Amino acid sequence: MQPTSDERRTAFSLMRWIIYFCILMICVFSMWYFAGLFKEKTFEEYGVIENLQLVFLFISALSFFIQSFYKTSHRGLSLLLGSVCLTATCREMDAWFDELWFLGWKFSLIFPVLAFGYICRHFNNFRKSMVKFCSSSAFFMMYTVAIIILPIAQCVGHKSFFMDALGPISDPRLVRRLFEESTEYISYILLFLSSIEFYITLIKKTTKNTFRKIK
């Protein structure tokens, strides 16, 4: 029996998600490797990890800008996402830009402004693009990125949070537990919200369809 088109699309999507997961796992274990190789220099300002962050941010921005060259209704959205990535790249280089330019990294906010200018001139295409984007897997991946960057990274990345949670004692076991428990806490909240979304998108719709068939 030949697989249907829906089954082939599902298998292709599943394969992509498996590849994404493998890439993430490789990156996680690479941090472990770099930490053993470069010790405390791994996570320093403009150390190995921060330089890798800049590489991935720049590649992401370049990818979105290249996609904006295609004559599609998604050009405005591609420009907006690319400009946001470019601004984030400049934000990561704040120590360098603060010495070079009186505005510091904030000059890069002009990039999203220019993207919004293009969007205003092509708002109908942008509106259609947003409708498709918000129901795509790319949106939910970016939503996950926002969760990691804002609640998680900002929470565990502030000195005051460490001082309140650990006090003056810097026991490595407490630091390990702090990272583990705080990230798991936010992850389980996300899991709970996923269960609600599972009901809304699958169970509720299936129940409605079943009820209609009975009627």
The CA radius of gyration of the chain, in Å to the nearest whole number, is 22
pLDDT for the residue 65:
94
Please report which helix (H) or strand (E) contains residue 153, including its range: none
Beta-carbon count within 10 A of 73 CB? 15
pLDDT surpasses 90 at 211:
no
pTM attached to this predicted model: 0.83
pLDDT surpasses 90 at 76:
yes
How far, in Å, CA of 54 to CA of 51, rounded? 5
Mean pLDDT score, 17-41: 89
- Is the torsion defined by CA of 205, 208, 214, 215 positive or negative? negative
Beta-carbon count within 10 A of 74 CB? 19
Beta-carbon count within 10 A of 37 CB? 10
Q: Are 82 and 61 in contact (CB under 8 A)?
A: yes
pLDDT surpasses 90 at 75:
yes
* pLDDT 10s digits, 92-118: 888 888 777 778 888 999 999 999 999
* pLDDT 10s digits, 155-202: 777 777 777 777 776 677 777 777 777 777 877 787 788 888 778 877
* pLDDT 10s digits, 86-98: 999 998 888 888 7
Provide the pLDDT confidence category of residue 208 given band limits of 50, 70 and 90: low
How far, in Å, CA of 165 to CA of 51, rounded? 29
Provide the pLDDT confidence category of residue 214 given band limits of 50, 70 and 90: low
CA proximity to 63, closest of 75, 78, 47: 78
* pLDDT 10s digits, 36-68: 888 878 888 788 888 999 999 999 999 999 999
DSSP label of 158: -
